[in-house]
A = this chain, B = another copy of it.
Amino acid sequence: MYRKGKATIVDIADRAGVSKSTVSLVLQGSPLVKDQTSERVRQVIEELGYVYNRSAANLRRARTNIVGLVINDLTVPFIAEMAVGIERVFQEAGIVPIMANTAESLRRQGEVFQTMLEQNVAGLIVLPARGTAPSDFRPLRTGGVPTVLALRNVPGSQLASICADNRGGAFQATEHLLALGHRRIAFLGGFENTSVFQERLAGYRRALADGGVPFDEDLVVQGPASRQAGHDAVKAVLTRAVAPTAAFCFSDVVGLGAIEALRAAGMEPGGDFSLVGFDDVAEARYARPPLSSVAVNYKALGERAAHAILGMLHAGDRAMESFEGPVELIIRDSCFRQNEAFANV
């Protein structure tokens, strides 16, 4: 283009007959510069194909326009959706997101935090890896990086979190099954070392308690949030002395596995066994039978998290309160009304 190497602010200044300070002001859209001048500068910028050097700006400035996005598992569709929501908000705010996938590895998560600090991120949205401890955030805390947790909470971390209303969702789902007359309701999938599990389990127990149904530990089967796990969990739970007639599944994927296992056992989901899932993934609607599920607007949750960070950046260190996104029980055809219980009413 011009001279050797890339054009800098000084080259622009020379060509436009102003000082580099003025050019800098123009670039920042300062109202201090006369329109006529800034117009001329802008023209030269165009002419020389100048590109702004953010590394230099970041060095001088206190804060960067970079925000880190630490994701536990990007291959989960609704997490990707959430990432998209976050990304969109940032893009509009002129924030550049650095993304890292930890694949649920704590070691990797630690490395990622380090990298984020080195990049001098202005803030951080973290979807914590399974088993994250409050102390894992220490480097961030000493680095003074505004941080928001999303999707999963880390109790004791003192960090604000943006999560779905897991407790409420599980409560609604379980209540729905109770209302259909079910009394033996299993809880399938998920691991107890995540806050999401704890919360959903709490909602489930609360609904049982409200419905006067005793909690039976034997009806809770932990496992990964996978199809296979749903399959296995159903098989396990059907062997109980008094088998359940319904299950609240930790996630839709678990529920889909459950559907298969029920069929394999000669039962008909929605006909003689009721299922409710969580997340309302696209597949739930298309399953046979269509799976009732607790819908979460993950994209909105992502946007909320992004706004939370923006707020923290703007308002300095003002502590942000946590937020629980609303959920909605979507009723499809995977449940049936149980007669004996019906007679009980």
Contact = CB atoms under 8 A, between A and B. Distances in A.
A51 B98 contact: no
Given A52-B118, A118-B54, A75 B84 contact: yes
Interface string A32-59: 0000000000000000010111111011
Interface string A50-93: 01111110110000100001000011010011011001100100
Contacts of A22: none
A1 interface: yes
Q: From DSSP, what is the main secondary structure of chain A's interface residues?
A: helix
A92 to B, nearest CB: 10
26 contacts: A51-B114, A53-B59, A53-B120, A54-B118, A55-B64, A55-B120, A56-B59, A59-B59, A74-B80, A75-B84, A77-B77, A80-B80, A84-B101, A87-B99, A87-B100, A87-B101, A91-B100, A91-B108, A91-B111, A96-B98, A96-B100, A96-B115, A97-B98, A97-B100, A98-B98, A99-B99
Interface of A: 1, 49, 51-56, 58-59, 64, 69, 74-75, 77, 80-81, 83-84, 87-88, 91, 96-101, 103, 108, 111-112, 114-115, 117-120, 142-143, 227, 256, 260, 283, 286, 288
